[in-house]
Structure 1
């Protein structure tokens, strides 16, 4: 995995750098606080590991998953966890896998857990019927990149996490999985809404259906004063709001500091470490540290301007439906009750064959327009080209500037 390779290479480089004219070892900066990130460079013999660039001592750490003690010997590089650290010593480590369950299929580097097919190069020793703990991170295009697969003893309940959609009083979707939570113990039930990030524990039944016994709704306040690492999965156009790991929305303000990069470098696919603070109901970035190079994928982001239609609780532009949920940012006083007929700009991501709005704001209608999305039949976002400038982009996902006359596009260029 790119981030693990980069971290290892950086560590090797730092290890090889000695002070000029001195044989003394450099002092190790002391770290205290809560960290959220990957285990790296684990040493089972020394019971030490590296997280977010910090070398930590886990000799006396309480290591657990949902209250169950986990031996240090069962940890592996790539696992995600939350760490309570004082002076580089871990007092508690809470494992935070993406999936826990039984492997139903294995074929080469591909395997299936909880109905989700994944790919990982380190599957040696993993067989059908094994129980595993899997850590994944989202790709910028909406897929999953596996960081770790660890064999564990069978446990009572399967775990799966993700963002809620299609919520009813008894069911909701996590991707293509339908979850029945009618008899579940729901933590923060008032916060369970479309767009909420949840961890669900339960059992499968009848193919792709899932019976939940417990649902934990993620609360941004739990990340107050955390240092979190992960992948940027969305950024708004004015660089004031971004999404980390497909789950946390984090604001940027004038006091946010940037290390090894600038605000404009914050782009989908970048790997970053972020120090956050919870203020007035929102997570705000105090510092953003860029961790990787410039080769990254923007992913399936979209941007559109147009006359909003709002009918039967459904938003659309040019009859193209755009979903909203509890995490959609409604700016400039816009609400479902007053958006119909307004000229707006909408930014978001294409997820599971749905356009999902992340931010909606008012916009002036001009004679030029910026659109990002798929080109089909010489048309982009329902606007037909009045010339042939879209022809060369046919079938592609593009980000274009176009002249805008009436409801037609001209001279579109990237």
Structure 2
């Protein structure tokens, strides 16, 4: 889990680097311009938090984090819409001193420091990254559309998205069973994980030799073993210095490092993962990103184990529906027991576009996409996560896009404008549009986002993901239904595959 306890030497260095805390708010930062055009206000996303069971921020006595979430861009680092200067920050990766070059877009980090009066820039004093899970891929299952996969690592189900997950040393299409990977992301409930960053490790996994990392709640504790998820952990030789009083307790949430032998994990180190809220004081302002859990109503739910009351928060988009599993960013003030949210924003888009860039308006932060049947404008902002899978530009941003570049965009509708949560530059591929249906002419055409596709001769799938004919598909179709259309290369405006979005329906 992010930001584990640090060893004594590391903690001394960290404490020496820390300044004060601070709070934020204010106008949105400009969208990332990238490497090509002068200043580089990149995007951001981040906040402090944990998982169900607790996130250890590993900074006892060093101050509370003000942001916890994904890194959405560089040129400093951008977390939760704030551009944090890291020139004087202490940076830690997996408990070891590091520098900004050791961080990647999509990693979930904790940031300590201050936010400036403009509400969109700040000074980081401490940046901490710690992976959520490390081990071999045991199984892979693709969804019906082929855009989302569930991979199993050490018995943990991890959701990996073609667009929303960033990849290092592998890709969505080349990831394979047996690959040894490290995951950063957001917990979903007690058993699952949503990957925001996936790194394929260079070493080859060897059972009994290669170190793995897993988190969970201790049960069936004895003097020598305990249960963690599906594994029996032997901790007789483990380092317990990062556990309070070096004493394990039933129900304690921990991170375990060690080697596997069948269903037994021989631990070399066990670290206690403390709750994020333990580091907060009343009236602390902070922002938190993650998946909603334990939802009762808008006044009672959790993100990363932090209780939240968003009953009076401003929502973006205004029609945002909070529910278990929804990925959000929340800004607010800790009252000693609960986060009183002032703003809450969607951090995932339910609409997707895969198309070529027609033009880029840097002044308005708008990318116009060209599809075979027309154009679509997409707005980017300080929370849009930019990722370059073509040239691997580290400071990739809006100014690095050119007409003809192929991009994959995840977005949501905000007041009639498409707002991108993710924008990935990739190799040219089929055109894809996933959006609510504007109108349709049965068996002939479908219009979505103002784009009208001829569907005569297309392959259709119904709401149960079964192959059907056009008449059966249109018998189920209603205006507003989320539909995915693929126009295979070379795109000609004639749909090749048409399906309902099974996940959203």
With normalisation by structure 2, the TM-score equals 0.42
Corresponding residue of 1:149: 198
Answer yes or no: is 1:203 the counterpart of 2:258: yes
- The Cα of 1:215 is off from its aligned counterpart by 2.3
1:213-292 maps to which residues of 2 (within 5 A)?
213-219=269-275, 220-224=277-281, 225=284, 226-236=286-296, 238-245=297-304, 248-252=305-309, 257-260=313-316, 265-275=321-331, 282-292=337-347
Which of 66, 71, 79 in structure 2 is aligned with 1:51?
79
Distance 1:244 1:230 in 2: 6
Q: How many residue pairs get matched?
A: 265
Within the alignment, does 1:138 sit opposite 2:187 as a pair?
yes
Measured after TM superposition, the shift of residue 94 of structure 1 is: 0.7
Distance change in 2, residues 1:35/1:149 (3 Å): same
CA apart distance, 1:52: 0.9
Q: CA offset at residue 111 of structure 1? A: 6.3
Alignment pair present for 1:90 and 2:124: yes
Q: Is the 8 A contact 2:260 2:266 kept in 1?
A: yes
1:29-49 deviation per Cα after TM superposition (whole angstroms, max 9, x unaligned): 9x996211111123xxxx423
Q: Does 1:160 align with 2:194?
A: no
| Range with bigger deviation, 70-79 or 115-124 | 115-124
- In structure 2, relative to structure 1, the CA distance for the partners of 1:179 and 1:289 (3 Å cut) is same
Aligned partners of 2:198 and 2:90: how far apart in 1? 21
Q: Aligned ranges for residues 304-323 of structure 1 at < 5 Å?
A: none
Judged with a 3 Å threshold, the aligned counterparts in structure 2 of structure 1 residues 289 and 95 are, in CA distance, closer, same or farther, namely: same
> What's the C-alpha RMSD, in Å, of the aligned pairs?
4.6
Give distance in 1, aligned partners of 2:192 and 2:177.
Answer: 23
Q: Which has the higher contact order (CA 8 A, sep 6+)?
A: 2
Q: Is the 8 A contact 1:104 1:113 kept in 2?
A: yes
Bigger CA drift: 104-113 or 209-218? 104-113
For 1:193 and 1:293, the matched residues in 2 are separated by 36
Task: Indicate conservation of the 8 Å contact 1:271/1:291, yes or no.
Answer: yes
Q: Secondary structure at the match of 1:73?
A: helix
User: 1:61 pairs with 89, 112, 116, which one?
Assistant: 89
Distance in 2 (CA, whole Å) between partners of 1:127 and 1:79 is 21
CA positional deviation for 1:69: 2.5
Compute the displacement of 1:230 (Å): 0.8
Equivalent residues of 1:223, 1:277 under 8 A apart: no
* Closer, same or farther: CA 141–36 of 1 in aligned 2, 3 Å: closer
Which residue among 62, 68, 73 is the counterpart of 1:41? 73
Q: Kindly state the Cα deviation for residue 147 of structure 1 after the two structures are TM-superposed.
A: 1.2
Contact persistence 1:57–1:90 (CA under 8 A): yes
Stretches of structure 1 lacking an aligned partner (at least 5 in a row): 1-10, 17-24, 297-414
CA distance, structure 2, for counterparts of residue 142 and residue 191 of structure 1: 21
In structure 2, relative to structure 1, the CA distance for the partners of 1:112 and 1:57 (3 Å cut) is same
Q: CA contact under 8 A between 1:239 and 1:264: conserved in structure 2?
A: no
- Given the alignment of the two structures, is residue 179 of structure 1 paired with residue 233 of structure 2, yes or no? yes
Deviations 1:211-268 (A, max 9, x none): 33222131331255342111102212x55432214xx1414388x6444378994321
Compared CA separation, residues 78 and 181, structure 1 to 2 (3 A): same
- Give the Cα separation in 1 of the matches to 2:78 and 2:176: 29
Q: Give the alignment's TM-score, normalised by structure 1.
A: 0.50
Query: Does the 8 Å CA contact 1:81/1:97 hold for their aligned counterparts?
Result: no
Whether the 8 Å contact between 1:105 and 1:111 is mirrored in structure 2 is yes
Alpha-carbon distance in 2 for matches of 1:192, 1:275: 33
Q: Is the 8 A contact 2:220 2:227 kept in 1?
A: yes
Deviates more, 1:128-137 or 1:63-72: 128-137
User: What are the equivalent positions in structure 2 for 1:344-383 lying under 5 Å apart?
Assistant: none
| Greater share of strand | 1
Note the C-alpha offset of 1:135. Answer: 0.7
Q: Does residue 70 of the first structure (1) align with residue 98 of the second (2)?
A: yes
